[in-house]
Chains A and B, each alone.
Chain A
Amino acid sequence: MKKIKVGLGTCGLSAGGELIYNKFKEEIKEKNIDAELCETGCMGMCYEEALVEIEDENESYLYSKVSVDKVGRIVNEHLLNNQPVKNWIIRSKDICTEESFLKYQTKIVLRNCGVIDPTSIAEYIARGGYEAIKNVLKNYSSEEVIEVITKSGLRGRGGAGFLTGIKWKLGLAEKSEKKYIICNADEGDPGAFMDRSVLEGDPHSVLEGMMIAAYAIGSDEGFIYVRAEYPLAIKRLRIALRQIREKGFLGKNIFGTNFNFDVSIKEGAGAFVCGEETALMASIEGRRGIPRLRPPFPSQKGLWGKPTNINNVETYANVPWIILNGWQKYLELGTEKSKGTKVFALAGKIKRTGLVEVPMGITINEIVYKIGGGIKGNKKFKAVQIGGPSGGCIPASMGDLKIDYDEITSTGAIMGSGGLIVLDETTCMVDLAKYFLNFTQLESCGKCTFCRIGTKRMLEILERITEGNGKAGDIELLEDLANKIRSASLCGLGQTAPNPVLTTIKYFREEYDAHIVNKKCPAHNCPSLITYKVVDELCKGCRVCIKACPTGAITGKLKEVHVIDYDLCNRCGKCYDACRLNAIIKD
Chain B
Amino acid sequence: MEDEIVEEEKLIQHFKVDLINKRHQVGSLIPLLQSAQDSYGYIPEKIIYYISELVNIPPADIYGVITFFAQFRLKPAGKNLIRICEGTACHVNGAKTVLSVLQDELGISKDETTDDGNFTLVSVACLGCCSLAPIMMINDETFGNLNADKIKKALKKFYIEEKLLVET
Q: Do A and B bind each other?
A: yes
Q: Which residues of A contact B (CB under 8 A)?
A: 10-11, 13-15, 46-47, 49, 188-193, 196, 228-230, 266-272, 283-284, 286-289, 345, 347-349, 353-354, 385, 388, 419, 421, 423, 427, 432, 435-436, 439, 445, 577
**Residue contact A286 to B55, C-beta cutoff 8 Å:** yes
**Residue contact B55 to A353, C-beta cutoff 8 Å:** no
**Residue contact A193 to B30, C-beta cutoff 8 Å:** no
Q: How far is the CA of A266 from the CA of B69 in the complex (A)?
A: 14
- List B residues 145-164 near A (Cβ within 8 Å): 148
Task: Tell me which residues across on chain B come within 8 A of A11, comparing CB atoms.
Answer: 128-129, 131-132
Task: Tell me which residues across on chain B come within 8 A of A349, comparing CB atoms.
Answer: 92-93
**B21: Cβ under 8 A from any A Cβ:** no
In the assembled complex, the CB of B104 is this many whole angstroms from the nearest CB of chain A, namely 9
How big is the B interface, by class? 35 or more
**Residue contact A190 to B135, C-beta cutoff 8 Å:** no
**Residue contact A269 to B88, C-beta cutoff 8 Å:** no
Q: How far is the CA of A79 from the CA of B133 in the complex (A)?
A: 34
**Residue contact B88 to A272, C-beta cutoff 8 Å:** no
Specify which of B28, B30, B33, B133 lies most central, judged by the most chain A CB atoms within 10 Å of its CB.
B30
- Chain B: which residue is nearest A527 at the CB level? B96
**Residue contact B30 to A286, C-beta cutoff 8 Å:** yes
Task: Tell me which residues across on chain A come within 8 A of B89, comparing CB atoms.
Answer: 191, 347-348, 353, 421
Task: Tell me which residues across on chain B come within 8 A of A46, comparing CB atoms.
Answer: 129-132
**Residue contact A188 to B125, C-beta cutoff 8 Å:** yes
In the assembled complex, the CB of B88 is this many whole angstroms from the nearest CB of chain A, namely 3
In the assembled complex, the CB of A501 is this many whole angstroms from the nearest CB of chain B, namely 15
**B91: Cβ under 8 A from any A Cβ:** yes
**Residue contact B71 to A353, C-beta cutoff 8 Å:** no
In the assembled complex, the CB of A348 is this many whole angstroms from the nearest CB of chain B, namely 5
- Out of A191, A267, A354, which one reaches B126, CB within 8 Å? A191
Write 28 A-B pairs (CB below 8 A) sorted by A numbering: A10-B128, A14-B144, A15-B132, A15-B144, A190-B87, A190-B126, A191-B89, A192-B126, A193-B129, A230-B128, A266-B30, A266-B31, A267-B34, A269-B33, A269-B34, A286-B65, A287-B65, A347-B89, A347-B133, A348-B93, A348-B130, A348-B133, A349-B93, A353-B89, A423-B92, A427-B92, A432-B92, A445-B68
Task: Tell me which residues across on chain B come within 8 A of A270, comparing CB atoms.
Answer: 69-72, 124
Task: Tell me which residues across on chain B come within 8 A of A228, comparing CB atoms.
Answer: 34, 71
Q: How far is the CA of A229 from the CA of B71 in the complex (A)?
A: 9
Inter-chain CB contacts under 8 Å: number = 120
A288 touching B64 in the complex, CB below 8 Å, given contacts A11-B132, A190-B87, A272-B125: yes
**B127: Cβ under 8 A from any A Cβ:** yes
**Residue contact B70 to A269, C-beta cutoff 8 Å:** yes
A347 touching B128 in the complex, CB below 8 Å, given contacts A267-B34, A283-B30: no
**B13: Cβ under 8 A from any A Cβ:** no
Scan B74-109; emit 1 where CB is below 8 A from any A CB, else 0. Answer: 000000000000111111110000000000000000
In the assembled complex, the CB of B44 is this many whole angstroms from the nearest CB of chain A, namely 17
Task: Tell me which residues across on chain A come within 8 A of B55, comparing CB atoms.
Answer: 286
Task: Tell me which residues across on chain B come within 8 A of A191, comparing CB atoms.
Answer: 87-90, 126, 130
**Residue contact B92 to A421, C-beta cutoff 8 Å:** yes
Q: How far is the CA of A284 from the CA of B92 in the complex (A)?
A: 34
Q: How far is the CA of A349 from the CA of B69 in the complex (A)?
A: 32
Specify which of B55, B57, B129 lies most central, judged by the most chain A CB atoms within 10 Å of its CB.
B129
- Chain B: which residue is nearest A428 at the CB level? B92
The 6 closest A-B pairs by CB, nearest first: A191-B88, A270-B70, A286-B29, A46-B131, A14-B142, A269-B69
- Chain B: which residue is nearest A233 at the CB level? B128
Q: How far is the CA of A419 from the CA of B92 in the complex (A)?
A: 14
**Residue contact B88 to A190, C-beta cutoff 8 Å:** yes
- Chain A: which residue is nearest B142 at the CB level? A14
Task: Tell me which residues across on chain B come within 8 A of A435, comparing CB atoms.
Answer: 88, 91
**Residue contact A193 to B126, C-beta cutoff 8 Å:** yes
In the assembled complex, the CB of A305 is this many whole angstroms from the nearest CB of chain B, namely 16
Q: How far is the CA of A439 from the CA of B87 in the complex (A)?
A: 9
**Residue contact B68 to A347, C-beta cutoff 8 Å:** no
Q: How far is the CA of A192 from the CA of B126 in the complex (A)?
A: 7
**Residue contact A288 to B65, C-beta cutoff 8 Å:** yes
Further pairs besides A189-B126, A191-B130, A423-B92: 6, Cβ < 8 Å: A11-B129, A13-B142, A269-B71, A286-B57, A388-B88, A435-B91
In the assembled complex, the CB of A442 is this many whole angstroms from the nearest CB of chain B, namely 9
Q: How far is the CA of A267 from the CA of B148 in the complex (A)?
A: 34
In the assembled complex, the CB of A196 is this many whole angstroms from the nearest CB of chain B, namely 5
Specify which of B69, B124, B128 lies most central, judged by the most chain A CB atoms within 10 Å of its CB.
B128
**Residue contact B131 to A354, C-beta cutoff 8 Å:** yes
Q: How far is the CA of A266 from the CA of B30 in the complex (A)?
A: 9
Task: Tell me which residues across on chain B come within 8 A of A15, comparing CB atoms.
Answer: 132, 144
- Chain A: which residue is nearest B65 at the CB level? A288
Q: How far is the CA of A284 from the CA of B128 in the complex (A)?
A: 24
Task: Tell me which residues across on chain A come within 8 A of B65, comparing CB atoms.
Answer: 286-288
Q: How far is the CA of A547 from the CA of B129 in the complex (A)?
A: 35
A14 touching B132 in the complex, CB below 8 Å, given contacts A190-B125, A289-B69, A348-B89: yes
**Residue contact B144 to A269, C-beta cutoff 8 Å:** no
Q: How far is the CA of A199 from the CA of B86 in the complex (A)?
A: 23
Specify which of B55, B86, B91 lies most central, judged by the most chain A CB atoms within 10 Å of its CB.
B91
In the assembled complex, the CB of A237 is this many whole angstroms from the nearest CB of chain B, namely 15
- Chain A: which residue is nearest B124 at the CB level? A229
Specify which of A10, A189, A421 lies most central, judged by the most chain B CB atoms within 10 Å of its CB.
A421
Q: How far is the CA of A73 from the CA of B96 in the complex (A)?
A: 40
